[in-house]
Structures are given as C-alpha cells and as structure tokens.
Amino acid sequence: MEILVCAVIALAAYLLGSIPAGYLAGRARGIDIRTVGSGNIGATNAFRILGKTAGTIVLVADGLKGWAAVSLVPGIIARLFAWQLGRDEAEYLGIVAGIAVILGHNYTCWLKFKGGKGVATSAGVLAALVPVAFVVSLLTWIVVCWLTRYVSVASIVSAVVLPFATWLAHYGGILICITALMSALAIYKHKGNIARLMNGTENKVGRKNRPPGNGSES
C-alpha cells in the first residue's frame, strides 16, 4: 500500500508540475513563447515577452504548483487510500512530491519534456518544506539581483546559499541533502546562462531584449 500511495503521489505531483503556465499564457495571446525571447516557458521570459501582468500570473502559478504539491497532494492522495499519515511519513511524501513537481516543471510531458528551469516551482516547494531556509534564499536572491541586475546570477547564488541555510536552520539531514540536490539541479539548468555570463552576453534586468537564447527563466 505504501509503495502504491507513494507512486500515485509522485505521479500526481509530476502532472501538476508539468502544467506549462508560461506556454498557456503565451497561447492565450496567440504567441508560442518557445519561439521568442529566450525560448523558455518560465516566468522571466513571460515577463519579457508577455508583460508584467502575464509574467506575474505565470510566476505565481509556477510557485503555487510547488507549494500545492508538497502541502496538499500527499494528504489528498492518502485520504483517497484511507491512509492516516504520521509526521515522518508526511515529511517523506512531501519530499517525494516536491522532487516530482520540479521534474514535472523542468521536463513537462506536454511539451516533449522541455520545460522551465524550476526556480519559481522550487521556491514553492521550499516554502512548504523549509520555510526559514526559503526566506533566507529569497532575501539572497533579492539582494543579489538588485546589486548585479542579473536574474541568473541571483538564482545561482541563492541556490548555493540554500543548503547552508537549511543546515543552519537545523532542519534534518534528509532535507539538507534534498535542498542540496535541488540547488545542484537549479545550477545545472542555468548552464547556458553561466556560459553567457562568461561571454558577457547575458541579459540584465531592464536591458532591451536580445535575440533568442538569452536570459534566465523560472
């Protein structure tokens, strides 16, 4: 029973994460967001191409996917199977759901397994799993973005800070390992941005759009 419930939770969280909010927002405007700007379906490209209102909606939607997957999906699925979750089981299944929803966003099955970079969705997961570490990471992102004007640099630095913040906030070893893995995935998804930073071609906040292939998305 436990394995079955865990598998169903992972599948449900993955499918929730795979909802391509940025792509759908673009389609509502008659735009395939994958073909303009950086070509990414994340919130940053949505802001750049679709404007502040649509970008904000995409950002919130992607973040809510992560939060809902951890906070709601395990409990709903467990109740469907009449399984009473203990504290440890709830934390474990929340971690499973968190990983699955991020993978769903990053590798959505509806767009040939090509999605966003998982920053906003990861933020939602962290807000549910490790709220104190999430706040530290978020503040780091805001400060670094303000200082550098690079969304990608802010995302990478906040990812590096995250597992240390989790450790300093005295969360368990499993959550420290999970946040470290999430950070590694986020940095890996920004490999193109790192290359552009080294080449001096990365977009800054407020800079006029460049041809496809630039920018850091969620």
- Measured CA to CA, the distance from residue 125 to residue 62 in angstroms comes to 10
Residue 45 lies in a domain: yes
List the domain range (segments joined by +) for residue 183: 2-199
Instruction: Return the minimum-mean-pLDDT range out of 68-72, 188-192, 205-209.
Output: 205-209
Statement: residue 44 has pLDDT above 90: no
Residue 216 lies in a domain: no
Statement: residue 128 has pLDDT above 70: yes
Statement: residue 182 has pLDDT above 80: yes
Residue 205 lies in a domain: no
Residue 218 lies in a domain: no
Higher pLDDT, 158 or 37: 158
Statement: residue 155 has pLDDT above 60: yes
Residue 208 lies in a domain: no
pLDDT digits (tens, 9 = 90+) for 79-102: 999 888 888 888 999 999 999 999
The number of folded domains in the chain is: 1
Residue 191 lies in a domain: yes
The pLDDT, as a whole number, for residue 204 is 85
Residue 91 lies in a domain: yes
The pLDDT, as a whole number, for residue 117 is 87
Averaged pLDDT for residues 20-28: 97
